[in-house]
Amino acid sequence: MGEEKHHRYVHVDNVQEDTIKIPLRLLVSIVVMAIVLVLGFFTVKSGVVSGMFTGGDISEKEATSKLLNWFAANAQESNVIFVSSSKQGSLYEITLSIDGQETPIYVTVDGKNIVVDMIPLE
């Protein structure tokens, strides 16, 4: 006697698809948070709030003044005259005439350190 295979098909008229319902408040909150994160990223990258993260940079003029005051206090016997200044990346390059010889001296943009010599890598 042979085995017969029977297939049964069931047809259901009221089948509901599986859906996830997200509350409107949650959806709005997620969208608002995403917008705030994107705007915050671009604001930080643009430098608008960089002072909050870098500890506050000082101006070129302030760096020059701090450097001249340092020389006045620590090298009183030298004749120091300001020549020029410019920003070089994260340092201010301040050129001074020290006893008649022009010397570039670098001050960090936060005004906390003096760098006597800079050696470029490129």
- How much is the average pLDDT of 22-29? 84
Amino acid at 9: Y
- Which one is the CATH code of 60-115: 1.10.3470, 1.10.287, 3.10.450, 3.30.1490? 3.10.450
pTM metric for this prediction: 0.55
In the block, tokens 């960089």 appear at 50
Between 121 and 70, the higher pLDDT residue: 70
- Is the confidence at residue 93, as pLDDT, over 80? yes
H/E stretch holding 60: helix 60-74
User: Residue 111, by phi and psi: left (phi above 0), alpha (psi -120 to 50) or beta?
Assistant: left
- How much is the average pLDDT of 3-20? 63
80-88: strand order across its sheet:
80-88, 91-98, 101-108, 114-115
Tens digit of each residue's pLDDT (9 = 90 or more) over 35-88: 998 888 777 666 555 555 555 789 999 999 999 999 999 988 889 999 999 998
User: Distances from the Cα of 15 to the Cαs of 8, 12, 96, in angstroms?
Assistant: 18, 6, 85
